[in-house]
Amino acid sequence: MTIAHEEAVIDSAAVDAIFAKARTANSFTGEVTEEQAQAIYELAKFGPTAFNSQPLRVTYVRSEAARADLVGALMAGNKAKTASAPLVAILSYDTNWAERWDTFLPGYNAPKAMYDADPELAAATGNNNAHLQAGYFILAVRSLGFAAGPMTGADFDAIDAAFFPAGDQKSFLVVNIGRPGDEAWGEAKPKFAYDDVVRTV
């Protein structure tokens, strides 16, 4: 048993399912219901973001036409597994996230002026915090007993043109979701050790 398991406040099986034994799946089976898809977001939304901004937007792709548009924008190695996944999510960030300030941080809108005056800062903040939320999203998928297959091998400009033509969202990740299928796992890849990447100052 690792130090992580010994120190965790959740049981070892949960630690394994969410972290220690969870891996990126490359084939999928089963189904993901609407209720389960909603539950993924309902867990992911609780992770912290700057000013509680929550810029992540999730587009679940279920229809054949939408799936075809998405698969057409993916790198060759990602097409087949995405075409057959029970559920696929496009993760993007809201380019106008700061306009909802009174919703996500009511009663304290003084910092909004900083973003209104600097569109590049607003874009970077939206992008960075949505990426942070994408991590929560993947952990939420795993916590519900599904496997996640996150992918960046895509033409995201083409995805934006197909799914967000108004320019109000910028996509950055595609996530296949489902139960792991046959030969879902490739060879386990090495992870850096604590001493390789952590220092105390």
Q: What tens digit of pLDDT does each residue of 118-155 get?
A: 999 999 999 999 999 999 999 999 999 999 999 999 99
Classify domain 25-182 by CATH number: 3.40.109.10
CA distances from 103 to 51, 109, 133, 169 (A): 11, 10, 18, 18
Q: What tens digit of pLDDT does each residue of 63-73 get?
A: 999 999 999 99
The whole-model pTM stands at: 0.96
Q: What tens digit of pLDDT does each residue of 14-23 get?
A: 998 999 888 9
The SS3 of residue 21 is coil
What is the domain partition of the chain in residue ranges? Answer: 25-182
Tell me what percent of the residues of the chain surpass a pLDDT of 90.
Answer: 87
